[in-house]
């Protein structure tokens, strides 16, 4: 797995919009904050463009993202927002440039598509807060941004959260993968399909029906994505919806039932996803998950720059 180099003062950060359209007023305060920290920030040509609900046409969004992937002088690519649209670009992107010059890709929600694609070809990425939510109402960096910058600058990270009655105890060390459950489900059978074997899987979602979440969890189970997990971390499932005729189970019960036959450790209510606390996670890197009766601890183990195993990336992967 390639761990991209960490940010240092003077490095270039590119901001692109591969999915939904976004207003300038939501992005520029974050740009100014990054510049104040000593980073060079370059916006994609079409970052504020609009076409239907997208940030520009497919060609415009692809051009901005491909330019960022190819740029040897860029250390991090931060996606402006999620929404919908990244799936339109996936089969038109070329990763030769980012393999030659590794760089971090940051985002969540629809950006899960890029995480899964990059992790499959062997490059670590960051599931973390995007620019609109960098700063609080008073213009100060919040906990989510602080955790993101800790990851981007190579600092040690350990997260500890209180235990829940649904947790399953255990301790494992493995690579972390995952992101938004709905996106992961939609990638089944595609070039971006998630690889979960031997890994700790992280899942989160927003504004989904409970029955649909149940269906997606059983899809993961039936497709073999749960049986070989090392561990499971459940992030925030926010604004979940029910039918007029209630489904009858909450989100914790739905997930517990889907994984009850396995024995890997399971952590619930990790503060990441569509939530005010969106702690950054390095996907593709190695973490230690320790779940006991009092708390769950997630500790980053592999947090040094490395191009180890880059030779395993095949020509087909980079086409």
The closest of 69, 94, 116, 113 to 284, measured between CA atoms, is 116
Residue 115 pLDDT greater than 90, yes or no: yes
Q: What is the pLDDT of residue 310?
A: 42
Q: Helix %, strand %, coil % for the chain, to 5?
A: 30, 25, 45
With tokens 């269906």, the residue in question is: 215
Q: Tell me the two tokens of residue 267.
A: 């952590």
Tally the residues of the chain: 319
pLDDT above 90: residue 272: yes
Rounded CA gap, 214 and 220, in Å?
10
Domains of the chain: 12-155 (3.40.50.10740), 158-300 (3.50.30.60)
Average pLDDT of 165-183? 98
Residue bearing tokens 């972390």: 176
Rounded-to-integer distance, Cα 235 and Cα 298, Å: 12
Q: What DSSP state is assigned to residue 202? A: E
DSSP assignment letter at 1: -
Cα separation of 135 and 42, whole Å?
19
Vertex 107 angle, CA 186 and 266, to 5°: 65
User: Tell me: the pLDDT tens digits for 220-266?
Assistant: 999 999 999 999 999 999 999 999 999 999 999 999 999 999 999 99
Query: Is residue 306 scored above 90 in pLDDT?
Result: no
Question: How much of the chain exceeds pLDDT 90, in percent?
Answer: 92
């Amino acid at each position: 797995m390639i761990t991209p180099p960490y940010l240092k003062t003077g490095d270039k950060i590119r901001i692109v919009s591969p999915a939904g359209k976004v207003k300038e007023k939501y992005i520029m305060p974050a740009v100014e904050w990054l510049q104040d920290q000593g980073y060079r920030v370059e916006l994609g040509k079409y970052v504020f463009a609009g076409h239907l609900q997208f940030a520009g046409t497919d060609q415009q969004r692809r051009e901005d993202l491909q330019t960022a992937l190819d740029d040897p002088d860029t250390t991090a690519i931060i996606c402006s927002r999620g929404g919908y649209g990244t799936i339109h670009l996936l089969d038109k992107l070329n990763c030769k440039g980012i393999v030659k010059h590794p760089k971090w890709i940051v985002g969540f929600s629809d950006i899960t598509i890029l995480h899964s694609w990059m992790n499959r070809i062997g490059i670590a990425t960051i599931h973390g807060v995007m620019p609109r939510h960098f700063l609080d109402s008073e213009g100060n960096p919040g906990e989510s941004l602080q955790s993101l910058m800790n990851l981007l600058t190579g600092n040690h990270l350990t997260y500890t959260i209180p235990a829940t009655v649904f947790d399953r105890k255990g301790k494992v060390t493995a690579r972390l993968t995952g992101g938004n459950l709905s996106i992961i489900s939609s990638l089944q059978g595609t070039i971006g399909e998630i690889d979960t074997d031997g890994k700790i899987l992280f899942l989160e979602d927003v504004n989904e029906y409970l029955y649909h979440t149940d269906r997606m969890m059983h899809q993961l189970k039936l497709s073999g994505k749960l049986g070989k997990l090392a561990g499971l971390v459940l992030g925030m499932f926010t604004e979940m919806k029910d039918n007029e005729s209630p489904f009858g189970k909450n989100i914790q019960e739905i997930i517990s039932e889907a994984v009850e036959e396995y024995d890997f450790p399971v952590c619930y209510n990790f503060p990441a996803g569509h939530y005010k606390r969106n702690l950054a996670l390095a996907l593709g890197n190695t973490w230690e998950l320790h779940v006991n009766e009092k708390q769950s601890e997630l500790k980053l183990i592999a947090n040094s720059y490395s191009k180890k195993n880059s030779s395993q990336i095949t020509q087909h992967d980079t086409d």
